[in-house]
Chain A
């Protein structure tokens, strides 16, 4: 099992590299484990990428496992009305 560790700063400038990393992770297996414990800040762009990853994996019968989450990561999902998705990934 490989875990994709998200970097501390996930702003718009990070979106393109994160997309590449997520595509690579999704190509390996239908299930992706994420470690978001180091995330200091995350913006809408990168959250959308995670939602897109979720969508791609779901289409293949897979899912995201959120192994660890930082307060900033969790708060961002709460603020954007995505708490239920965040909780689902943690389950």
Chain B
């Protein structure tokens, strides 16, 4: 395959992904009753996947999509009613389309006949659901004899570049011929001789008379993807011949008075149905790499601007009014530029949320439960990187909610709850962060059970008194599970501790609230982007380090009497009845000339995830600031205890500390007896 075709293929798969992504949430709503626009949208998506697939010769995909189109067509023309069996087979069919697209993309074919059984199920459902004998696949798209056929004159003249854009008139005309009887006249007048022809240019044009009962929109849909690359006129032939105004056949007919005709040219388009073609701002596809490079470059500008401001301040120029004004403007524009670039990377959380209905459906079906998903705030935007890493923890929480949260339907009946449980997903911007909540209306956390398990595992002392919130938080401890049986659903060896770790790795926090008999609510608070973070700049000797604000609990200068040596385990700080292990940053990073006595420096208490709290001993706190994160992994190599690097306004490179990594490397880890814990 040459480069251009491979580029078209890549575009096709991107469009498939978009189409499937549009379909996914809509398919989930079919079970609640299918409205016409939903079916139309799904039909268009499948039609688009099929059309492109045909151009690239993905025969299995095309054949299966055709069968699915037949079913959708029967549904939208009310020839069948969507029952539970139909919903199930349609859902599985969309999964199969996704699998066939993936197979076409990866080149790893599905097993021979993998889709055949499902195609038969689709047929069987059509037979069973139709009040009268259903049409065969070939007949499905032909007009119903009950409606009066209309003859349309379609003038289709491709622009020269139509073929180069992977469009094939032959496929379009074949699709058109499926709508009814066609009479095709080709105009060969523009085809040059052999010496002058451009082998990839389009020269032919056609006048096509189509006699059909299909609405105008069905005809226009055939040309949906070539309207910018052809001259297309569709006019009702009989009406034009009689000189009479054309009949407006249905709601989707043109809104303008006059004959029902529509001309589409490369210079502008008018469509028969405003609802069929939602208006949206023009968009372009851009490689993520290019956006990342842009974001990186803007990060450099932010750093340069900050350095410039600091240098001017250090110069001590007396009359700085104008310079200051300029610097402030530069700072404002730089912030705006940074926000704009971050906005390019931002995506609605919808892309993650829309996967959840299927997961809930599958898990509920496997467990014999009934569940539905309610989502709100799905247009809330968050950085693409965060979204990508959010999918796994969110999936786990949703599986858990169905598996552990929701009661079986009979039990819910007995409790006076609806048989169908509800999983609610919501997203909202709060205080510069995004808060995602996953709630269920199930049984809530069984606190006595959690407490018993935690004591059995030795996670808490027998006599340790805990509040309800403390008990709920126990589920995030490593290795904690109340599930005696290994569950196929959520017991995949991944516990809530991993979910918590994943969320914390994103700079986020997770908490849970629960009411017995009413359900649980998990709340995730995440940064909007991973490219910048709020950090506390601390001094250690001549070096500066950044501690992410979200892990800081407090900072203090302890009394010398509060610092104790534990033999073989290093120093601890006595703090309000607890002992917090101390980590001396100057020892970890081998910094000369730093303060080594905590009572003469500062101890910053940080939350080191599952290792609890640790105290970082530093010389001084230099201030809080937003920093641009530079990946150490991408530019150097991963270093334990370091989450990244940044450049301060002074031009100094400062390492961003990774709390969990520091705790792991601290001398207080189990089995360690050294005081060094050095990281090189």
A interface with B by C-beta (< 8 Å)? 11-13, 15-16, 18-19, 22-23, 26, 41, 43-45, 47-49, 51-53, 55-56, 59, 76, 79-82, 85
Contacts and interface: CB of A to CB of B under 8 A. Distances in A.
Contact of B173 (A51, A53, A55, A80): A80
Contacts of B204: 44, 47-48, 51, 80
A82 B2 CA distance: 29
Given A15-B199, A22-B194, A81 B206 contact: yes
Given A12-B5, A53-B194, A79 B177 contact: yes
B186 interface: yes
8 nearest interchain CB pairs? A81-B184, A81-B186, A15-B199, A56-B194, A56-B193, A52-B197, A19-B199, A51-B191
Interface in B193-221: 193-197, 199-200, 202-204, 206, 208
Given A45-B199, A80-B204, A26 B1 contact: no
Interface residues of B, number: 31
A55 B191 contact: yes
B171 to A, nearest CB: 9
Nearest to B163: A45
A1 to B, nearest CB: 20
B247 interface: no
Contacts of A23: 194-195
Contact of B2 (A13, A79, A81): A13
A56 B202 CA distance: 18
Contacts of B191: 48, 51-52, 55
Contacts of B316: none
Main secondary structure of the interface of A (DSSP, over half): helix
Given A44-B170, A49-B199, 13 more contacts: A12-B5, A13-B2, A16-B200, A19-B199, A22-B194, A26-B194, A43-B168, A43-B170, A44-B202, A48-B202, A79-B173, A79-B174, A85-B188
A47 B332 CA distance: 60
B368 interface: no
Q: Which of B5, B191, B194, B200 has the most CB of A within 10 A?
A: B194
Contacts of A49: 194, 197, 199
Nearest to A18: B199
Given A45-B199, A81-B186, A52 B168 contact: no
A8 to B, nearest CB: 11
Nearest to B188: A51
Contact of A13 (B5, B173, B186): B5
A79 to B, nearest CB: 5
B169 interface: yes
B416 interface: no
Contacts of A81: 184-186, 206, 208
Contacts, number: 85
B57 A56 contact: no
B193 A44 contact: no
B199 A82 contact: no
B493 interface: no
B184 A55 contact: no
A22 to B, nearest CB: 6
Contacts of B1: 13
Contacts of A82: 186, 188
Contacts of B206: 80-81
Contacts of B202: 44-45, 48
Given A12-B5, A45-B163, A79-B170, A59 B57 contact: no
B195 A41 contact: no
13 contacts: A11-B57, A13-B2, A23-B194, A44-B169, A53-B194, A56-B194, A79-B173, A79-B184, A80-B173, A80-B204, A81-B185, A81-B208, A82-B188
Contacts of A26: 194
B192 interface: yes
Contacts of A76: 170
Contacts of A13: 1-2, 5
A52 B192 contact: yes
A26 B5 CA distance: 29
Nearest to A83: B184
A71 B466 CA distance: 80
A55 B194 CA distance: 8
A41 B194 contact: no
Nearest to B184: A81
A79 B174 CA distance: 6
A19 B185 contact: no
A44 B156 CA distance: 14
Contacts of A11: 57
B22 to A, nearest CB: 28
A68 B267 CA distance: 43
A59 to B, nearest CB: 7
Contacts of A22: 194
A55 B193 contact: yes
Contacts of A55: 191-194
B323 to A, nearest CB: 61
A11 B195 CA distance: 20
Nearest to B173: A79
